[in-house]
Amino acid sequence: ETGVTQSPTHLIKTRGQQVTLRCSSQSGHNTVSWYQQALGQGPQFIFQYYREEENGRGNFPPRFSGLQFPNYSSELNVNALELDDSALYLCASSFAPGQGADTQYFGPGTRLTVL
Amino acid sequence: KQEVTQIPAALSVPEGENLVLNCSFTDSAIYNLQWFRQDPGKGLTSLLLIQSSQREQTSGRLNASLDKSSGRSTLYIAASQPGDSATYLCAVEDGSNYQLIWGAGTKLIIKP
C-alpha cells in the first residue's frame, strides 16, 4: 500500500458530461501528478501540482483542469467528456516537484468509461 | 520528441526461469529511467530508478541496466516466481521538461 487513495474506483458517464476525480496523497507530499492511461498503453502525463499551483502540463486540452488543497487532497476535473476520455486515471504523489527525481507513489486509479 | 518502446509486449515463461525485459528510448537526453510494476486494481509500484549517470541498479532479484548512448535499458528478473506476474513499464524523465515518458509495458505471466 502506498498511502495514496483515489475515488471513485469506477465511473460511467455519457458524452458531454463533466466529471471530478479525487486523490488523497501521502501526508507530507507537496506534489501530485495526474496521468491518463488508455487500455494497453502507458500513462500519459496530464499535469502536476506543487503547493497548490500548476507546475507543468502535458498535451491535454484546457477542459482538463485540476485543484490541489492544503490537506494533501486533489481533484482532476474533465469537462465536455468525449469517448476518447475513457481510460484509467492515476494520481501520484511525491515530496518534490518534477517527476522522476523523487519516487512517486501511485494510487490504484479511477476507471472512467464514457458512453 | 521522446518515444519509449518496450519489447516484447507480452511474455509467458515457466517458474524459475531468468528473463530480460527491454526498453528503448529515442532521445538520450534523459534525467533518469524508472521501471514500474502495474498490478490490476493496485496502481503502479516503482521498482528501480537509475539516474542518468548510473549504469545499473539492483534490488533483490531485479537488476536494471541503462545505456544512455544506445538508448536502451533492460530489466533482469532472476529465478522468476508466479508472484512476478504483472505488467512492467519503463519511463524516462525528459531532461528538458522533467516529464515522464512511458512505454506501453510488457505483460509478464509466470506459469507455476
CA distance B97 to A58: 10
B104 touches chain A (CB under 8 A): yes
Q: Which cell numbers in the block locate residue A91?
A: 494520481
Tens-digit pLDDT profile for residues B54-85? 999 999 999 999 999 999 999 999 999 999 99
Confidence of residue B1 (pLDDT cuts 50, 70, 90): confident
Residue with the larger pLDDT of the pair B9 and A94: B9
Q: What is the pLDDT of residue B43?
A: 80
Q: What is the pLDDT of residue A109?
A: 93
A101 touches chain B (CB under 8 A): yes
CA distance B44 to A87: 15
Tens-digit pLDDT profile for residues B88-101? 999 998 766 667 89
Nearest C-alpha in A relative to B3:
A42
Residues 12-71 of A with CB under 8 A from B: 40-45, 56, 58
Tens-digit pLDDT profile for residues B11-54? 999 999 999 999 999 999 888 899 999 998 778 888 999 988 99
Cβ-based contacts under 8 A for chains A and B: 62
Assess whether pLDDT exceeds 70 at residue A102.
no
Confidence of residue A2 (pLDDT cuts 50, 70, 90): low
CB contact under 8 A, B46 and A41: no
B42 touches chain A (CB under 8 A): yes
B97 touches chain A (CB under 8 A): yes
State the nearest Cα–Cα gap between A43 and chain B, in angstroms: 6
A3 touches chain B (CB under 8 A): no
CA distance B77 to B65: 12
> Are the beta carbons of B99 and A45 closer than 8 angstroms?
yes
Which residue among B32, B43, B99 sits closest to A45, beta carbon to beta carbon?
A: B99
> Are the beta carbons of A8 and A111 closer than 8 angstroms?
no
Task: Provide the mean pLDDT of chain A.
Answer: 90
DSSP tag of B34: E
Answer positive or negative: Cα dihedral of B68, B57, B12, B10.
Answer: negative
Lowest mean pLDDT, pick from A51-55, A65-69, B105-109 = A51-55
> Are the beta carbons of B60 and B78 closer than 8 angstroms?
no
What average pLDDT does this structure show over A1-30?
91
CA distance A22 to A30: 16
Q: What is the pLDDT of residue A99?
A: 53
CA distance B88 to A58: 23
